Amino acid sequence: MDHYSYTLIDKVGEGTFGRVWRAIDNLSVDGSEIVELKEMKKSYSSLDEGLELPESGVSYLVFDYVESTLHRLMQDKINLCTEPELLHGLFQNRISLFSESEIKGWSRQILLALTLMHRPGGYMHRDLKPSNLMVTKCGELIKIADFGQARQIDSKSPCSDYVTTRMYRAPEVLLKSVSYTSSVDMWAVGTIMAELYSFRPLFPGKNRAVQLYKICSVIGSPTYESWAEGIQLANSCDYKFPQVHPYGLSTMIPSASHEAIDLIKSLCSWDPKKRPTAMEALQHPYFAPDMCALPETTTSAKLEQRSEELFGRFSPVGNITSEDLLKRYEFEAELRRLFRIDSSKEADSRSAMTRQFVCAF
């Protein structure tokens, strides 16, 4: 890192693969812009080596291109750092509950990001939680952060069951499945939405058994008819689902609308196959007041075909060009048109650098 370009203020946090620092950008217009830098713990001898991260660190990037600067990657002979603009935690210094329109806007952006991430050749995040969702100062733009546990969807190797912070962990992962899918991210989105309404985790378990009990106490226990694979997973790890009378989501998040409850209920389905995809979730009536229905001729398959025409499959970082990034931006713009998303406020809040849409560190 060029220590003359930045003045470190303090350490924001630290994870398995890196640390996040708050710093002053000495090269900004007024020399006082606050940024956050991510420092990778592993040492790299060159920038190219740093970009060729193994699957555990994700070797793909998806950017939203803005103006002339794509994303500044800084390098010295010791560490690889990345620097988005200033980010704020969703719950930081918040006193009153979020409005439903705020929650809808953030949920929609998260789902749009997952629509791109979950394409064939893409990635499942596997650690979605409020502390990994950051918003800009104005509160309009949300960003997915920390891809340290991300995994390529098409990977054939067994999945790890030690992923995702426990309170946002899908039941199949809690039951030690090694063949789960990107639907684990959809479960996490459901729990995050619920927490945005109440400021309390929906399923606050202190260990695996308590976590599963908390889930059962809210949505009820699964049966062989509703989730046969889950019952088999439970049997294989010697776990028996409790027979409890569920509180119900409406009791847990009374401020949520009927449409919100319905969407969260579908996202938090026991059976992963019954959870909607990100694209399907975006078409839920919950979002109807803020966007028109998709044109009759528009389907997820057509969007997939259009995205393939624009920029094909996800490209390795080392092969990404400015043209690739522009095409990715065009695809997001096309999604916005299809969903009638008003981006005027978002445009006003963009910095002169680049806003990060999805960045896999």
Check 25, 127, 146, 324 and give the catalytic one.
127
For residue 41, count other CB atoms closer than 10 A to its CB.
12
Strand bridging mode 18-25 / 73-75: unpaired
Closest listed residue to residue 290, CA positions, set 268, 260, 267: 260
Tell me which amino acid residue 341 is. Answer: I
Strand bridging mode 88-89 / 18-25: unpaired
For residue 313, count other CB atoms closer than 10 A to its CB.
12
In degrees and rounded to multiples of 5, residue 263 shows phi and psi of: -70, -45
- 64 flagged as catalytic: no
37 DSSP 8-state letter: E
Q: Own/partner pairs for 28-35, CB < 8 Å, 24+ apart?
A: 29/352, 33/85, 33/86, 34/9, 34/86, 35/6, 35/83, 35/84, 35/85, 35/86
Residue indicated by tokens 């809690």: 174
For residue 242, count other CB atoms closer than 10 A to its CB.
11
Q: What are the Cα distances from residue 125, in Å, to 56, 113, 339? A: 11, 11, 24
278: three-class secondary structure by DSSP: helix
Q: Extract the tokens encoding 48.
A: 């190219």
39: three-class secondary structure by DSSP: strand
6: three-class secondary structure by DSSP: strand
Q: Which residues are catalytic?
A: 127
